Amino acid sequence: MKLKDLEVLHVAPPAPGWGGRYWTFVKVTTDNGITGWGECYASTVGPAAMAAVIEDVFARHMLGANPEDIELMFRRAYSSGFTQRPDPTVMGAFSGLEIACWDILGKARNRPVWALLGGRMNDRVRSYTYLYPEPGQDAAEFWVNADWTAEAAAKCVQQGFTAVKFDPAGPYTIRAGHMPAMSDITRSVEFCAKIRAAVGDRADLLFGTHGQFSTPGAIRMGQALEPYSPLWYEEPIPPDNLHEFAEVARHVRIPIATGERMTTKAEFGALLRHGGAKILQPALGRVGGIWEAKKIAAMAEVFNAEMAPHLYAGPIEWAANIHLAVSIPNILMAETIQTGGAFHLALIRNSIRWEDGYLVAPEAPGLGIDVDEALMRAHPYTGTRLHLEMQEAPCDYRRGNRFEGGAPSDG
């Protein structure tokens, strides 16, 4: 069995667009006709350029290879161009292709991917979701309205969630880490207070930041949130200085979580050695794929750290996350988009099960998903923007900060 053909599809979710502006799927076919699906999360270049990178990585390092040779193909891509260092674009391309290889291998053996990763450790996986506005609700107001967000949290708990995430501390800028405005700290405290009052001890609070603070700014914000006992303080500083996570952790009594923008075990290994983060959040469509994430989980065990795979993409990365989570002993929880997301579930014909706050271990071969290829092709992304983009304007200390949530408002 050899890898033979590749197709790249950029799919645009319809409004409200939870999961980003578009998703990049890869369809890989072997010489004996088995098809595997993968998803690339990295989007540091535009969709046309990313498709070219994916095609180059496949042709250069994978075409004609046995899909079993995951390690060999990874080393080829990781070493490409005499580098042997983390590269989010190349490793993002490889990640989606690697996920497709696991889908192929599972289908060839008539077994779910988790069975090829050491077997089923967990029958079900605790899940969490971001808090999102209701249909028809003013999204721009929702992201800064603690009362509305608390109502959304209460509804999520009624559905069965035991953890909810929110990130009122914006803005997300292209600049280096900044000191938060006092108004941002005040709003963040209000969110924690009102959400905690709405859910009591029935759910954990997950405080997100997307890495926008300086180290002292992260410490100020984190210390203000401590009375509400969030389960984690997510990516409080940018991911380009791993030493500083330990400095934040020394001053803030909330567990530090990070990892969605990191790639390969090299970066996660350095993070663990320096200390600081005890909750790792790899995005499997960027980190190097399922096998690389499995290695990261094993390293995390040694440091008594837990895994919480990140998801702000489409349903194929979601499926990969679930197989990893089912196979490891140190899973904390896995991200979902609401209880699965209407368009996410439609693209895979409802083949992932979410029940009472948990994701159920898949039983079907490969990734265990039933891809609706026609629906994918009916929603192409034809623009040139990136999956997500940060603002150029700096933090506003005078007029306050309002920011767009995770669904871009333009094409």
Catalytic residues: 210, 310
Question: How far apart are alpha carbons 411 and 404 in whole angstroms?
Answer: 14
217 neighbors 177 (Cβ within 8 angstroms): yes
67 neighbors 4 (Cβ within 8 angstroms): no
Six-digit token string for 360 = 């159920």
365 neighbors 107 (Cβ within 8 angstroms): yes
Sign (positive or negative) of CA dihedral 197, 201, 202, 208: positive
Contacts by 368-373 with C-beta closer than 8 Å and gap 24+?
368/106, 368/112, 368/113, 368/319, 368/323, 369/37, 369/315, 369/316, 369/319, 371/37, 371/316, 371/347, 372/346, 372/347, 372/348, 373/27
Name the residue with tokens 């948990």.
Answer: 358
In order of 103, 135, 208, 283, 290, the CA distances from 261 in angstroms are 24, 29, 13, 7, 16
Q: Smallest Cα–Cα separation from 26: which of 51, 49, 1?
A: 51
Name the residue with tokens 């699906």.
Answer: 37
Could you give the 3-state DSSP secondary structure of residue 167? Answer: coil
Could you give the 3-state DSSP secondary structure of residue 205? Answer: strand
Task: Name residue 359's beta-bridge partners.
Answer: 125, 354
249 CB-near residues (< 8 Å, 6+ apart): 256, 275, 276, 277
Greatest C-alpha distance within the chain = 63
Six-digit token string for 114 = 């988790």
Question: How far apart are alpha carbons 377 and 33 in whole angstroms?
Answer: 21
Q: Smallest Cα–Cα separation from 99: which of 36, 30, 34, 50?
A: 36
Six-digit token string for 208 = 């997100």
Neighbours of 283 (CB within 10 A): 27
